Structure 1
Amino acid sequence: MANKFTQHTGIVAPLDAANVDTDAIIPKQFLQKVTRTGFGAHLFHDWRFDDDAGTVPTASFVLNKPEFQGTSILLARENFGCGSSREHAPWALTDFGFHVVIAPSFADIFYGNSFNNQLLPVRLSDEQVDEMFKLVAAQPGIRFTVDLEAQTVTAGDKVYPFEIDSFRRHCMLNGLDSIGLTLQHEAAISDYEQRQPAFLN
């Protein structure tokens, strides 16, 4: 079972870039791990650090700025997560501490992988995302509230509705990954197995 996602309030980090690909999110040299943990240290490595070893932070990069420390909501531009299909991209984002990514559009595979890893991708219009970037620029460190049950983002004094496929929404609200979904039918699976001829068991 995964963690349930109902509502999240967090500091918003503005990544003002379109077409952010998965190699930028987690460069290929960091993909050797066999577990899902530890990738957050290398998130946006080539943008966050001035050296290959990752010991010299790039002061101008948004995630290194003091006002965005502890961020858990990423605000981005269109076509976020394009490029290769690596599932390490949402792993790196969640391991770093992100719960939500807000953008006008996402690459299809990244979008699906995000739900599988309890990372909520929220699609809003270009105009709405522009408004949010302006709000964060005016109030660095501002917190947004993302309510999956109500399907809304509260940013300052405005509330933005968004839509999520009902099945994916159900899975996130109930903390169901692929294993959890299967276990919902455990009794039916067991009953089916019991009814099979002995030589098949």
Structure 2
Amino acid sequence: MKSFKQLKGLVFPLDRANVDTDAIIPKQFLKSIKRSGFGPYLFDEWRYLDHGEPDMDCSKRPLNKDFLLNQPRYAKAQILLARDNFGCGSSREHAPWAIDGYGFQVIIAPSFADIFFSNCYKNGLLPIAAPAAMVERMLKESLASEAYYLDVNLEAQTVTLPSGDSFGFDITPHRKHCLLNGLDEIGLTLMHAEDIKTFEVKHRAAQPWLFSA
């Protein structure tokens, strides 16, 4: 998993509340568990005018010009800004896979669905719960701007606006440590590989009958 420390990124304003995981990545794309290749299908039913299916060449599909993410000014956005209850619906981990695959690294909203919030950390995304009034301000400013950038500093736990104003955000020490060091659950386990090997040797010696053919 990639590490995250600081990002000055372009904002994509998604002015919607209750964005569920089926909108983030529709159910027909859940057949794969590879964690990769989902970026082109992010917000599939909003971005395209046809029905999406796995393995389609999205470069040839008709775009919905009314959906803001299809505008050239948001092509390299790395920060997703939305309203309340982002990521509600099912527990599918494909949702953060699709967001990460598109190129977003940070999601800011007033509130998140609990399972989606946890799944973001497991996949290297930083979800930030921001005050509703601040989200309202950032949405208005970003929609009125051709290029609206935020500076997200995980070590300082701050988000700085173009005006220079900033706000802090909460994150548990464990999650912060994992993001800063690029550690998912597998990475955390592998840090104890030698201890695990030592335990296995002792376990085999103490109870050899468990390992006999």
CA distance in 1, matches of 2:98, 2:197: 36
Write the letter of the residue equivalent to 1:127.
Answer: A
Name the counterpart of 1:163.
170
Q: 1:58 aligns with which of 59, 64, 68?
A: 64
CA distance in 1, matches of 2:108, 2:10: 13
Deviation at 1:137, TM superposition (A): 2.0
Q: Normalised by the size of structure 2, how large is the TM-score? A: 0.90
Write the letter of the residue equivalent to 1:173.
Answer: L
Q: 1:175 aligns with which of 158, 174, 182?
A: 182
Name the counterpart of 1:42.
41
1:11 aligns with 2:18: no
CA distance in 1, matches of 2:4, 2:69: 24
Identity %, equivalent residues: 51
Single out whichever of 9-18 and 132-141 deviates more from structure 2: 132-141
Name the counterpart of 1:83.
89
Q: Normalised by the size of structure 1, how large is the TM-score? A: 0.95
Write the letter of the residue equivalent to 2:29.
Answer: F
Q: 1:141 aligns with which of 142, 147, 150?
A: 147
Deviation at 1:143, TM superposition (A): 1.3
CA distance in 1, matches of 2:33, 2:185: 19
Deviation at 1:56, TM superposition (A): 0.9
Moved over 2 A (4+): none
Q: 1:70 aligns with which of 73, 76, 82?
A: 76
CA distance in 2, matches of 1:102, 1:189: 38
Q: Which runs of 5+ in 2 are unaligned?
A: 53-57
Single out whichever of 149-158 and 93-102 deviates more from structure 2: 149-158
Larger radius of gyration: 2
